[in-house]
Amino acid sequence: MVAIGTVGLGGPGALGGGALIGEIDEAGAPRPPAGRRWQRPPAWRLVILVIAFLFYAFPFAAAVKYSLVQSDGSFGFNNYSQIVSDGAVRDSLYTSLEISAIAAVAVVLLMLPTVVLVRLRLPRLTLLLEGVTILPLVVPPIVLASGLAHLQGSAPEWLVKLWFNHPLTGLTPTYVVLAMPFSYRAIDTGVRAIDLRTLVDASRSLGASWFMTLTRVILPNVETAVLGAIFLTVALCMGEVVLSSIMLYNNVLPVEMIQVGASSPGVSVAISILALVFVFVLLFSLSFLARRRRGSTSVRVI
């Protein structure tokens, strides 16, 4: 049962998130003109829809039911209230959220200006950048993990104190790097979809500084893409297990979930469900933002 919960956010979770973003994009695409007569879809489509729905809904419903079973066999919210009352779980949730927030901000601050700079001034570096950003996917995570663990073991004490002593400093930079394949592509696709040079020139000629051009002109027009990058980064931070457990950061949410799962599986599943709900809320707010400007050209996130 634990596995069901972690799949939503675990290592493969990042890829699952990718697929979900694709669906959002469809929602933002131009819809058929209103007033077109609604036609009953053929029966086989309904059948497929129902099967697919059951395929996803059944394990989820089972997990919800399981999380509601209390230790004495009755139904209740004990497992959920334990998340709040269990200090370790709460703290690990906060830590993971902090890591997510900082990593998401760092990804945007790093990637958006880089992509804009390369597109405008250094187009010859595009290939190099594409190569570099794909590296975290090409190099197996275990290599990265053992490399970091080795560094952790052999680094001078001041560096260990500065960098590795806390998961915030130890994991956030690593997650920013791990998120690069997704964040770069999401933002690059968004920037490609706008007439960057003309917008930048127009903004500059009207007296805007580079900062104003980035924040007032470029960012709002690649909003969906940037949100996509943020979402993927958050999903990665909330679900990554391999690195954090190898580097012995036990007080982050995914590792904590596994530990709790060993002693009280109900609580672990409850956390998974909450995490899933969190992701859905994130997704819906994303699609809401994407649809806010209706009729504007849809920007593919991935």
Partner 1 sequence: MIRFEGVQRHYGSVAALAGLDLEIADGELVALLGPSGCGKTTALRILGGFDHPTAGRLLVDGRDITGVPANKRDMGMVFQAYSLFPNMDVRNNVAFGLRMRRQDKASRLQRADELLELVGLVEHADRYPHQLSGGQQQRVAIARALAIEPKVLLLDEPLSALDARVRAQLRVEIRNLQQRLGITTLFVTHDQSEALSMADRVGVMQSGRLEQLDTPENVYRHPATAFAAEFVGAMNRLPGRMGDAGDVQVLGQRLSVLNPDGREPGAPVQALLRPEAVSVVRDTAGAGEVTQRTFLGASVRLEVVLDGGQKVLVEASSHDVGVEVGTRVGLRILADAVVVASPGVAPDPEATPVVA
Q: Which is closer to partner 1, CB of 205 or CB of 263?
A: 205
- Residue in the block written with tokens 């994407």: 290
Q: Which is closer to partner 1, CB of 250 or CB of 298?
A: 298
Q: Which residues contact 213 (CB under 8 A, 6 or more apart)?
A: 200, 203, 204
- Does residue 205 bind partner 1 (CB under 8 A)? yes
- Does residue 289 bind partner 1 (CB under 8 A)? no
Whether the CB-CB separation of 276 and 61 falls below 8 Å is answered with: no
- Does residue 206 bind partner 1 (CB under 8 A)? yes
Among 177, 199, 242, 289, binds partner 1 (CB under 8 A): 199
DSSP state of 226: H
231: tokens are 């979402």
Q: Which is closer to partner 1, CB of 70 or CB of 298?
A: 298
Q: Tell me the C-alpha distance between 119 and 191, whole Å.
A: 8
3-class DSSP state of 75? strand
The CB-of-29 to partner 1 minimum distance in angstroms stands at 14
- Does residue 189 bind partner 1 (CB under 8 A)? no
For residue 247, the tally of other CB atoms under 10 A from its CB is 20
Q: Tell me the C-alpha distance between 204 and 116, whole Å.
A: 14
Among 95, 133, 203, 224, binds partner 1 (CB under 8 A): 203
The CB-of-104 to partner 1 minimum distance in angstroms stands at 21
Give the CA distances from residue 261 to residues 13, 19, 243, 266, 267, in Å, rounded to whole numbers and listed in that order: 18, 27, 19, 7, 7
Q: Segment near partner 1 (CB under 8 A), from 95-103, 154-162, 212-220, 231-239?
A: 212-220
Q: Tell me the C-alpha distance between 143 and 64, whole Å.
A: 36
- Does residue 122 bind partner 1 (CB under 8 A)? no
- Does residue 301 bind partner 1 (CB under 8 A)? no
Interface ranges with partner 1 (CB under 8 A):
194-195, 198-199, 201-209, 212, 216-217, 220-221, 223, 293, 295-297
